[in-house]
Amino acid sequence: MMEKSEGTLSPFVYWAQTDSVATLKVDLKSVKDPHLRIKEETVEFSANGVGAQGLKRYSFALHLSAAIDPDKCSLKVTDRQVDLTLCKTKKAWWPRLTAKPQKPAWLKIDFDKWKSEEDFDEDETRDIRRDFPEIYDKLQKEELGYKRESAKKIYLAIYNLLQFIGFSYVLIVMYIRHYKSGAESMEGTYEAVGPAMKFIQLMQFLEVLHPMFGYTKGSALTPFLQVTGRAIILFVMIEAEPRMQTKPVVFYLFLVWSMIEVVRYPYYITQLFNMENSILTWLRYTIWVPLYPLGFLCEGVVIIRDIPYYEETNRFSISMPNKWNFSFYLPTVMRIYLLFLCVPMMYFMMSHMYRTRVKKLGPKSWIRKYN
């Protein structure tokens, strides 16, 4: 194999692969007089062109980590770069391009081009970050010295962390108040943590947008129903009726909501970074069993207690006659929800959670032992 002399310049070379080919992008412009020599496990290239050191003669030689088929390899020269396509003799993902672990400083990984389809020109391609995360992470750490996270993952991690902090704040304040004053503290729960709860509740509407924009998997329907239902209880049933804000049921409702979320958000963070915590996973898919029915019960109590208040004030109700020729009586809607919609809604949410639990833990995992 050709050895470079000390005065030889090497261009920057960026490589990527599929299971059947490896590609090299040589960062040279205005290339002239290119020479390429390909053997079963070696690639040698030289050309005149504009590189990092200006217009000069550049060359490089690579001893590959696995065999390629010289007859099927190709060279493409453009004004901006030189593209080499190396066809592997056996379909496989290479852990690295070169035979030796120590790669030259001018050889870089083209992360943006990593795909797992054979045709690099296809519009619909999968990502090695999903298909082969261990290989991708290893290559990234070797190249950069650290694992580079996507902007989407960083955003989701920050969002989940902030939500965890918000619900933890609500729980801590409620606990301290109850520890100091006992049951008497319940009357001032909304005054103490209501603003924080309203803020984090509004933030939860982002969870409806996440699956719509591909940030998370699944349908937007389930988070929409859950977040919207909570928002109606919080802003219409409690915030809009001051007499409800001092009721003890608000304390229990906030307690249930917060206990669910201080488990859910840390679990999401661990999943983002592929970290498994068996206890946290079990809690995430089990704690809803007692808390979801308690949450629906507290919400039902809030609605029942609010019915006479809204009959008295007619707030949010529309009476005839009006220019729209339309009437709306909120207490009637509240009664219809309690009689006909509350139980089906609870059944829908709990069925969804049960299916996800079975998918994650299995049908016979209500009690597990962890070492």
3-state secondary structure string across 295-327: HHHHHHHHHHHHHHHHHHHCCCCECCCCCCCCC
How much of the chain, in percent, has pLDDT values that exceed 70? 86
Mean predicted confidence (pLDDT) in 107-115: 74
Helix (H, G, I), strand (E, B) or coil at 151: helix
Buried b or exposed e, range 148-172, using 16+ CB within 10 angstroms: eeeeeeeebeebbeebbebbeebbe
The mean predicted confidence, pLDDT, of the chain is 87
Which of 155, 169, 215, 292 does the annotation list as catalytic?
292
pLDDT, position 148: 53
Identity at 139, one-letter amino acid code: L
State the pTM of this model: 0.65
H helices within 145-247, ranges in order? 151-181, 189-203, 206-212, 221-231, 242-245
Residue linked to tokens 């729960």? 189
Cβ–Cβ under 8 Å, residues 329 and 294: no
For residue 299, indicate whether it is catalytic.
yes
Cross-strand pairs, 55: 50
pLDDT, position 138: 61
Condensed to tens digits (0 to 9), the pLDDT of residues 161-197 reads: 999 999 999 999 999 999 999 999 999 999 999 999 9
Q: Which string of DSSP letters, residue by residue, matches 240-296? A: T-HHHHTSHHHHHHHHHHHHHHHHHHHHHHHHHTT---HHHHHHHTTTHHHHHHHHH
Q: Of 120, 140, 119, 121, nearest to 129 (Cα)?
A: 140
CA atoms of 47 and 230, how far apart (whole Å): 66
Condensed to tens digits (0 to 9), the pLDDT of residues 310-319 reads: 999 999 999 8
In what side-by-side order are the strands of the sheet with 42-51? 29-38, 42-51, 54-63
Cβ–Cβ under 8 Å, residues 61 and 1: yes
Using CA atoms, how far residue 290 sits from 142, 294, 350, in Å, is 47, 7, 11
Tokens of 101: 């672990």
Cβ–Cβ under 8 Å, residues 62 and 43: yes
CA atoms of 191 and 352, how far apart (whole Å): 34
Residue linked to tokens 């108040």? 177
Condensed to tens digits (0 to 9), the pLDDT of residues 17-42 reads: 888 999 999 999 999 989 999 999 99
pLDDT, position 117: 42
Tokens of 13: 């070379």
Q: Is the pLDDT of residue 61 over 90?
A: yes
Condensed to tens digits (0 to 9), the pLDDT of residues 219-276 reads: 899 899 999 999 999 999 999 999 999 999 999 999 999 999 999 999 999 999 888 8
For residue 146, indicate whether it is catalytic.
no
How would you classify residue 20: left for phi > 0, otherwise alpha for psi between -120 and 50, otherwise beta?
Answer: alpha
